[in-house]
Structure 1
Amino acid sequence: MRSAFTVSALLLSTAFASASVAQDDAILKVTGHGAEGRPAYRGGGVVEFIDVSLDAQVVHFAPEKGAILPLEVDFNVIEPAPILLTSRMGTEHWQLYQFATESMSAMYTDQKVDLATAGKHTAQATRAWFGRNYGPAPEPGLVGIRGHRYLLIDRPDGTWLDVTDPPAFFARRDMLRKLTFTLADLTKYELAVSDIQSTWQPGGPLRVQVVVHDAQGRTLPVVGLPLVASAGNWQSKFGTEWTPLGEPTGWMRAALPDVVPELVTVSGDVTLQTPDGRQVTKVTADFSRGAGLVSPDRFKIAEQGYELPRDAGGTIRETRAIWVSPSDMETAESVARLVASCKKARLNVIIPDIFVRNAFYAKSDLIPISDRIAEGFDPLQDLIAKAHAAGIEVHPWFCVAYRDGRFRQWFAEKYGRNIDMIDAEGEIISLGADVHRPEYRRFIVDLMVGVARDYEVDGIHLDYIRTMGRCYCAECQKEYAERHAGELAKATDEQWIEWQREAIGEIVERTAAGVRKVRPKAMMSAAVFAGMPGGAAQGQDPADWADRGWIDLVLPMDYQMQTLQVRSNERQFLAAMSDDTKLATGLSLYMRSGGSALSRPAELVREQVELVRRMGIHGYCLFAFTHLSDEQLAILHEEVNTEEARPFFRE
């Protein structure tokens, strides 16, 4: 019998919106988020981004003042609006990657993308400064702009209205490579062509290093230069040498002619943005044949290889999972398509979301099934049957604390407990459930254990296993005072972390114990923030959960567009976890572009899976099936997963 507790399609997570592959990834229809409680901006404005360029290879940098940055953003206003898009504060910043330290910094700039007038325009920046809330400040050396976080929506008078998502344009690799430059103290400097390497064979490679000696005595590489090698009538242009992950090696590379000359001249201009303005300095050097002679092997860009582990029978051991939204398993036909696609991609674990916001997609005595499901159809049971027949495991996915107001009202009526979260200003937090309430912890644990008992699942997956913020409700304040002899409103960040971890840790521990009691071979997994400090603030402690044996598989949600950032994040987990075989990386199949989610380029998916393998991580999980494009499926089938594999966690 159906309950009055129903779900609307509009209440499903926006993360599962269909990919709009037809949208141009350079066009932004400005739509606000309603940041910090402000009204969501809906005042119009459509802009097409054309290019981002930097008129210098070396930029003056003073840590306490920032950098002199001649950055230009070319754009075309399609639909005017009285707003500016800026990158001047908060989460609205460029992402600046430092290649030496492999870290990402928040870079703020003063350009203004003015949407007041239709047509093509250029927004010019003159300086950059750096925050410390979203990464360390950069150091002198090679850096590169590698994307943009949110854009700030400003009024013409400079007061801000809201924030919006940037288009995926800002993640284009061909454009970003042009935005690689050197930070240096240019109050005094010298430039030089410092080194050469070549096989000195006909048609062979030739590369040089150009460096800047700055006022602090540092010698720093410079790339992206218009250098030319010449001898008589022969010329060859140099290009920046890149690693497979898009890192500059610090060398500029060209090719020798078929007849190797006795003397090669290397020359070109270096553009510097100094405290005294723009300077163009010519560098030149002559090299005799045989100078810097090296073998061809020296020109192989270092790339860590890997060999996937195999069992005694020769089958690859690698966890290949995919997250699946409720909309992809609402009918028997959609379940069949899902399983067929996963089989073609040679995936071996399906993680279907069966509890999101207020909607439940299985059968339980604790909560009714969503009314989006046809009478008599059990999507989880159907998926398990079809997936098992195809040799694929099923680990039901629970959004543990991701509850909306409709669910919270239903819970209060059915279980007699208000689980609203209250923020520091006394307002109800729209999405979340107060996990500090024992009644809710008992409910969610019993629900997950019940599914493990009633269905032949292979595992249980915890998502939104976090507090969803800080709750200041009267019950939380009272309980904190009783248990910790202090005021919650005056708690330090460290005390908040401890308080949040108590509630979240209890859910993880009790769920693991209950699931293993009813389904001993079931695996426990958890999706966690890719940035460990952010997760800790909401009660996550994945390394400890794994060490205690509560969690068998930790899945950082590493949905970065920049593969270098994925590497940096995953290294944190490898360092923190005592048993790194319990780590698998969550990778994205989609990319944000304005307010839409587009399927990522298939080549980027391949690149990031290859990175995970080179790092020695024994698996990955793709988010999400909704965004799996034909091109992505083809590359998984034909290049990435050319053989079947069984999950690494299965001995």
Structure 2
Amino acid sequence: MVGLAALSGCGEEPSSTTEAATSSANTTDSPGTATTSDVPATGDPTTNEPTSGDESTSSGTTGGEPQELVVVSHTREFRAVWVATVSNINFPSATGLSATAMQDELLAILDTVQAAGLNAVVFQVRPECDALYSSDLEPWSRYLTGEQGEDPGVDPLQFLVDEGHARGIEVHAWLNPYRAKANANHPLAANHVASLLPQYAYAYSTFLWMDPGAKEVQDLLLAVVADLVGRYDIDGVHFDDYFYPYPVDGEDFPDDKTWEAYQGSGGQLSRADWRRDNVNAMVEAVGITVADLAPHVRYGISPFGIYRPGIPEGIVGFDQYEGLYADPLLWMQEGWLDYLAPQLYWPTTQAAQAYGKLIAWWSSITTGGRYIFAGNYLSKLGTEDKWSLEEFKQEIVLSREYAESGSQGNIFFQIAPLQDNLLGVTDAFKAEFYATPALTPPIAALTDEVVAPPTVTLTGAQASLSHAAPDSLRAWVVYAQAGQEYVIDRVVPAETTSIDLSPGTWAITAAGKHNVESQGVLVTVP
């Protein structure tokens, strides 16, 4: 996909290749969600109906006596937005801003996320094998100061993580694995990978692209991922649909040297299968790296929205399997990642790329409690009649229809329409879909990792909160008793040590960074 006429990716505008793939079609495993107690099998994600509590587990109240515990839960949902930095699409608004101005823009982004009722930001930290964070491995991005490698005076990722977590918002680091230049004309810093490994940097279309078949390129990418999850308290690692570049008619990707080296070593795969194997190896290796170093960090990829033409029946368009050498079905089947976020960038009314058919198919391939988070093309809002506010509401409704099959959220490209409240979209999202707070779904591989309940001490109407393992927590979740049930009232950042409660009975859980909740501690305010 393409930003400003020449770029592609989940958080960037769809490319001419993508548009062409759909214009020819009249355009202008078994299902598995986690089944632990904190992922209810029932419940309406639109209304967040309260879930029943099991009050048989313990007795007593807080304040020195044994704590009375209850099993509570709520409907989970990944409610995210892409924030694109390539070509200054979303952040920063221009190159050369002061550190304070950039911080103000990041705070405004978080304000918008809260106003829309979302709970996660997918922030582009590596648009061109560079860094929107302090890195010893890659140069500062030119989109910050105008010159690659120049220190902007602020670490945007660290600031966003700190401020986002203080508001209970997850921050996911989005990387482009192989794009070295979005515009082949701009100069490179001396420590950029294309400067260090020029033999694996190829001009292709308007881009400079690193060779996915070069071990040195893969090794650097893995080092970057390890560095990110090791030094930053990020909540996710995210890749978009840029593996091998979108093909240009009549121009093959110029990886002859690595292909010939593979053949010379005795490799027997076809060239297409070899390229897919290069991508598969990267996807698997990143998953292993994240799981080994930070298992609570969610790892996902946002592939092109059509797996292959004819899958499901009647769907036509670009073939990512042959064109990008991407096989997201295999990645899900092998359990190499935690989720897929297919870019379903067509309206529900477009039969050849029908949103309803596509979300049903993608949801059907989930395995092992992993998820589908549909990617939605929000930057099209209001550009044509087919891209109305009602269209995006319908896309959310359709995504939720397949929640039991694994469709557990949406990621919107990109944040600008929400910042502008275009056609009232921010207000509508908050009022109609995201009025009730929610944690994102638990990490599938960690759903059995039990979280100890908090210690809650009630003084009047103020509840003091503590935990035996505070560094392992994401949040406190507060539930209000409603008859014989408990309904979520708020999600409070884990760094908060006390909360005020109104008269009534409450249950307070501790949520780990892997998004599994403890049992709730019951407290009653007279």
1:567 corresponds in structure 2 to: 356
Residue 313 in 1 paired to residue 72 in 2?
yes
Question: Match of 2:229, SS?
Answer: helix
Q: Which moved more, 1:397-406 or 1:454-463?
A: 397-406
**Structure 2 counterpart of 1:513:** 288
Residue 609 of structure 1 corresponds to which residue in structure 2? Answer: 396
Correspondence for 1:340 among 98, 101, 111:
111
Match of 2:138 in 1: 367
Find the aligned partners of 1:16 and 1:543 in 2 and give their Cα distance: 18
Whether 1:622 aligns to 2:412 is yes
Q: Which residue of 1 aligns with 2:509?
A: none
Does the residue aligned with 1:645 lie in a helix, a strand or coil?
coil
Q: 1:498 to 1:419 in 2, by over 3 A?
A: same
Q: Over residues 546-589 of structure 1, what are the superposed CA-to-partner deviations in whole Å (9 max), with x where a residue is unaligned?
A: 33332101100111123561112223323333346421111111
Distance 1:413 1:460, change over 3 A: closer
Higher relative contact order (CA 8 A, sep 6+): 2
Gaps of 5+ in 1: 1-8, 20-32, 36-86, 95-105, 108-147, 150-304
Distance 1:17 1:451, change over 3 A: closer
Q: Are the counterparts in 2 of residues 570 and 585 from structure 1 also a CA contact under 8 Å?
A: yes
Q: CA RMSD in A?
A: 3.6
Aligned letter for 1:542?
Answer: P
> Aligned partner of 2:157: which letter?
L
> 2: distance between equivalents of 1:385 and 1:92?
41
Q: How far did residue 529 of structure 1 move?
A: 1.0
> 1:357 touches 1:407 (CA, 8 Å); kept in 2?
no
Q: Per-residue deviation at 1:481?
A: 1.9
Change (3 A) 1:627 1:400: farther
Mapped partners of 2:132, 2:189: distance in 1: 19
CA–CA distance in 2 between the matches of 1:307 and 1:34? Answer: 39
**Are positions 1:549 and 2:335 aligned together?**
yes
Aligned to 1:389: 166
Q: Amino acid of the residue matched to residue 321 of structure 1?
A: A
Partner of residue 425 from structure 2, selected from 632, 635, 639: 632
Per-residue CA deviations over 1:517-567 (Å, capped at 9, x if unaligned) read 332211101110111122222232223223333210110011112356111
Quote how far apart the aligned CAs of 1:92 are: 8.1
| The structure with more strand, counted as a fraction of residues | 1
8 Å CA contact retained: 1:324, 1:353: yes
| 1:392 positional shift | 1.0
Q: For residue 503 of structure 2, what is the aligned residue in structure 1?
A: none
Hey, what's the Cα distance between the residues in 2 that align with 1:18 and 1:497? 26
Q: 2: CA distance between counterparts of 1:483 and 1:407?
A: 35
Q: Is the 8 A contact 1:17 1:597 kept in 2?
A: no
1:356 is matched with 127
Look up the equivalent residue of 1:307 and give its one-letter code. Answer: D
Query: CA 1:335–1:500 in structure 2 vs 1: closer, same or farther (change >3 Å)?
Result: same
2-side partners of 1:550 and 1:510: how far apart?
8
Corresponding position of 1:323: 82
Q: What aligned pairs does 1:121-140 form with structure 2 within 5 A after superposition?
A: none
CA offsets 1:95-146 (integer angstroms, 9 cap, x no match): xxxxxxxxxxx35xxxxxxxxxxxxxxxxxxxxxxxxxxxxxxxxxxxxxxx
The answer to whether 1:378 aligns with 2:155 is: yes
| Percent of pairs with identical residues | 18
Query: CA separation in 1, counterparts of 2:21 and 2:335?
Result: 36
Tell whether the 8 Å contact from 2:237 to 2:297 is kept in structure 1 after alignment: yes
Q: Deviations over 1:69-103 (max 9, x none)?
A: xxxxxxxxxxxxxxxxxx9xx75846xxxxxxxxx
Q: Which moved more, 1:475-484 or 1:513-522?
A: 475-484
Structure having the higher helix fraction is 2
> Residue 507 of structure 1: CA displacement?
1.5
Matched, 1:416 2:191: no
CA distance in 1, matches of 2:441, 2:273: 33
* Distance (whole Å) between structure 2 residues aligned to residue 597 and residue 484 of structure 1: 53
Contact 1:558 1:587 in 2 (8 A): yes
Indicate which of 527, 538, 556 corresponds to 2:302.
527
Measure the CA separation in 1 of the matches of 2:386 and 2:228.
Answer: 32
Encode CA deviations 1:312-341: one digit per residue, 9 max, x unaligned: 534331111111112444311111111111
Give, as a single letter, the amino acid of the residue that structure 1 aligns with 2:224.
Answer: L
Picking from 464, 467, 478, the partner of 2:244 is 467
Which string of whole-angstrom CA distances, capped at 9 and with x for unpartnered residues, describes residues 11-35 of structure 1?
A: 994889999xxxxxxxxxxxxx999
Q: Could you report, residue by residue, the CA deviation over 1:457-486 in whole angstroms, capped at 9, with x for unpaired residues? A: 111111235211453433133134235656
Distance 1:370 1:622 in 2: 24
1:395 Cα deviation after fit: 0.8
Given the alignment, which residue of 325, 343, 347 partners 1:539? 325
Contact 1:306/1:614, CA 8 A, preserved across alignment = no
Q: Does the CA contact (< 8 Å) of 2:10 and 2:413 recur in 1? A: no
- Partner residue of 1:259? none
What do the CA deviations read for 1:222-270 (whole angstroms, capped 9, x no partner)?
Answer: xxxxxxxxxxxxxxxxxxxxxxxxxxxxxxxxxxxxxxxxxxxxxxxxx
Native 8 Å contact 1:546 1:582 kept in 2: no
Structure 2 residues not aligned, in runs of 5+: 29-41, 52-70, 93-101, 146-150, 309-318, 443-514, 517-526
Residues 44 and 75 in structure 2, CA contact (< 8 A), matched pair in contact too: no
Mark the CA change 1:513 to 1:626 in structure 2 (over 3 Å): closer, same or farther.
Answer: same
Q: Deviations over 1:488-527 (max 9, x none)?
A: xxx8xxx344212211122222222222333221110111
Q: 1:485 to 1:316 in 2, by over 3 A?
A: closer
State which of 195, 204, 211 in structure 2 corresponds to 1:434: 211
